[in-house]
Structure 1
Amino acid sequence: MGIEIRAMEEQDIPETIRVMKEAWVHSYESIEERYYPREAHDFDMSLNTVERYTGSMEYEYGFFFIAEVDGKIAGSIRGEIIGKSGFGMIRNIAVHPNYLRKGTGRALMEHAVDYLKAEGCHKVSLNTMPVLLPAINLYLKMGFVPEAYLAKQWWGVDFIYMSLWFDKIG
């Protein structure tokens, strides 16, 4: 199974949205349902629109990559560099259930980290829910460290703020 990571293109948007939604439904039903409010999940799902994805692609400091396996979109990762600050933020990552635990998430994360390094960032951060143990384990293996525990951050749900530093400033 060869995984190819590339920048998302406009024609990829509908399929990327479908994959994102299937990934989020699977995650919600298998892990998050007892933790994350249904209203929050439905709100998050409503944000997956062609207009928002197009806007993400057009955002000057944003990035949006997809993973392809045998020509099929298997996952995506989206984030941004906060202006010229040297700080990158991963906003979301999703892997279709058929490609979980097969290296797709790691490949997306590594590509995003390499991209942020090449763009001169000194740090990248992300938020995750404490119940998403497979994701947390991946982030830890990649060198991310928990930097803060965000109590009742989003919809009254706790999150973990994790970061990876590339170089010291100065």
Structure 2
Amino acid sequence: MTLWVFGYGSLLWNPGFEVVDTRPARLSGYRRSFCMRSIHHRGTAEDPGLVLALDAEDQAECHGLALAAHPDKTEETLEYLRERELVSSAYLERMCDIALADGSTVSAVTYVIDADHNQYCGGLPLEEQAQIIAKAVGGRGPNTEYLHNTVDRLRVLGIPDAELQWLDERVRALSAQGLAC
């Protein structure tokens, strides 16, 4: 049985595990959002950054990729993903049905935000998000890099995301003004 993983943020451009197949996919009932304070990878406990998470929302859809792990490395892949994604327990690991572009459905490991966790920050105004992203730096580098890489990959995949596009442009403007890291 194939282990599918739903990629919607950094997994799109840095899966970190051997991917043997990718397919455009859609997850219903969630939207991609900078609704998680990052205190490890893209910020610190003293100066949190923001990372993307799937925030539950009726009638929402998130477009991304279904990533198939190498069949001989299922356990290794799950171990890696859990170490990476569950570092602070702000994400919840779920098996969600995702719709593939060909009309079929697969069950995929999906990381969604725990809205009761103290790192959850849904509903921040876009300008506030831009200000945070422009300045934060964590163990995996600048928050700006995370945003720009995600937007670039979404563009290559032909997946529109107006909020992320606005944030990308605004953070680049802040960087040009010398207000970013």
Please give the TM-score of this superposition, normalised by the length of structure 1: 0.27
Structure that is richer in helix per residue: 1
Structure that is richer in strand per residue: 2
Please give the TM-score of this superposition, normalised by the length of structure 2: 0.26
